[in-house]
Copies of this chain bind each other. A is one copy, B any other.
Amino acid sequence: MQAHIITIGDEILIGQIVDTNSAFIAKELDKIGIEVSEISSISDNKQHIIDTLNAARKHAQVVLITGGLGPTKDDVTKYTFCEFFKDELVEDASVLANIERIFKHHVGRPMLPANRSQALVPSTCTVLMNQNGTAPGMWMKMDDTVFISMPGVPFEMKALMTDEVIPRLQKEYSRPYILHKTLQTYGRGESEIADTIEDFENNLPSDIKLAYLPALGKVRLRLSTKGPDREVLEQKLGEQIAKLQELIGDIIVGYDDGELIEVVVGNLFKQKNKTLAVAESCTGGQIAAAITAIPGASGYFKGGMVTYATHSKVELLKIDQKLIDEHSVVSAPVAEAMALAVKNWYKSDFAVSTTGNAGPSRGDSDADVGTVFIGIATPDGVFSQEFKMGSQRERVISKSVNKAFEMLQKEILKN
């Protein structure tokens, strides 16, 4: 079963926003065995929308559209649907009641005609009630294809996907399972791994797909398959992974079912009932931000310090100025002193620290742009590692954050 996602709105086409809706929708569909064959972003233009709907229905049985449902003139999805389905708009009483409820409880001013017009929907559509906004979702069929329209505001779309779209798709269609297993490797390049597992790859069953995903210092290998029996799929992928384990077990550092490393590390801390604090210089708060973006972080995360300026390392973390003078602020001794200091300040079991030069210009040290020291304090001691993270600021920071979590993962697993 194939799906086509269509996102409507000029803000994506002029690069004003990044389209995160498609990734969310694709992931939810993948979980219930629906393959996305194409994602299209197009403008709020009636003819372009109709052409794309027509192209989509040639290969897809599910077409999901986001955007273009606002109360203003630049939003044309609903009117386009009427043209496409040769239907007309009628006022839906339940949608109107929902809009009235939202205005009464959340808006605090009278409704305008434009707001009431959001209760107009194509007469043959099934309304998907939007609890979080005034634009309803719509579900309409043409021949063998279902067309689902949702608002483009991410949290409204997400709630509609979870509460309405996915349950309906599960009920109406029988779907195969799609299974992915992703292996994280570390230390070898894409082509080197491909060379090592050439025979394995040549002998892979035709219904198992292998993909290489190189990113920031590591390569992930993803095996995918689909079929009607989940257990059979699990077993088939398990067999192939056992083969990979034999071939490249030395560089496999973990398995990844799409979970973020901060989620994995957070769960480990909670399971082991340990606490964490962070002292960040070059990563500037991004480690703390990644940790606290996940619900439940308060179960293990004590807090952190962002000591961006050199003298704040001295004044706040109480790092010895002599240590900095002697080794420079970007150095192993300073990274280790930072980790120990923040661990003591927050009375945590573990701490991680970063000090480095993210660029583009050199800061309060002679260290090359891209040089980063990451320190880890554990219940047993402290250590640090030096990294060369390249010369792009954004990349230096994100690699450092990633590496900090990897180092933490290793240490918490030992404890």
Q: Which residues does A use to contact B, with CB under 8 Å?
A: 10-20, 22-30, 35-44, 48, 55, 70-75, 107, 109, 112-115, 153, 155, 178, 180, 182, 189-192, 194-195, 201, 209-215, 222, 224, 258, 278, 280, 283-289, 291-293, 295, 297-298, 301-309, 312, 315-316, 345-347, 359-361, 363, 390, 392-395, 397
Nearest 3 interchain pairs by C-beta: A284-B292, A15-B27, A285-B288
Complex CA distance for A287 and B210, rounded to whole angstroms? 39
Are A74 and B211 CB-contacts (below 8 A) given A192-B112, A302-B312? yes
CB-CB nearest in chain B for A215: B153
- How far, in Å, is A193 (CB) from chain B's closest CB? 8
Inter-subunit contact A295/B15 (CB<8 Å): no
- Given known contacts A74-B210, A285-B306, what 9 new A-B pairs fall within 8 Å (CB)? A13-B36, A15-B29, A16-B23, A18-B20, A37-B43, A285-B289, A286-B293, A293-B397, A303-B312
Interface residue from B13, B75, B286 paired with A26 (Cβ < 8 Å):
B13
| 12 A-B pairs whose Cβ atoms sit less than 8 Å apart in the complex | A15-B28, A16-B258, A19-B22, A39-B39, A39-B41, A73-B194, A107-B189, A109-B192, A285-B292, A286-B289, A293-B397, A297-B308
Residues of B within 8 A of A201 (CB): 73
CA distance A307 to B288 in the complex (A): 10
CA distance in complex: A163, B109 (Å): 52
Partner of A42, one of B38, B109, B210: B38
A interface majority secondary structure: mixed
Is the pair A214, B306 in contact by a Cβ cutoff of 8 Å?
A: no
Q: Do A23 and B28 touch across chains, with their CB atoms under 8 A apart?
A: no
From known contacts A18-B23, A41-B22, infer whether A284 and B295 are also in contact, taking CB-CB under 8 Å: no
The answer, among B29, B35, B214, B304, for a CB contact under 8 Å with A70, is B214
Q: Are A211 and B11 in contact, CB atoms less than 8 angstroms apart?
A: yes
Which residues from B are CB-within-8-Å of A27?
A: 14-16
> Which residue on chain B has the smallest CB distance to residue A294?
B393
Inter-subunit contact A38/B37 (CB<8 Å): no
**What is the distance, in angstroms, from A355's C-beta to the closest C-beta of chain B?**
12
A295 B393 Cβ-Cβ under 8 A: yes
Give A150 to B18 CA distance when docked, in angstroms.
19
* Pairwise interchain contact A12-B23, C-beta atoms closer than 8 A: yes
Contact of A212 among B39, B74, B211 (CB under 8 A): B74
A283: chain B residues at CB < 8 Å are: 289, 292
A359 contact set on B, CB distance < 8 A: 295
Q: Assess whether B312 is in contact with A297, with CB atoms less than 8 Å apart.
A: no
Query: What are the residues of chain B within 8 A of A301 when measuring CB–CB?
Result: 284, 308-309
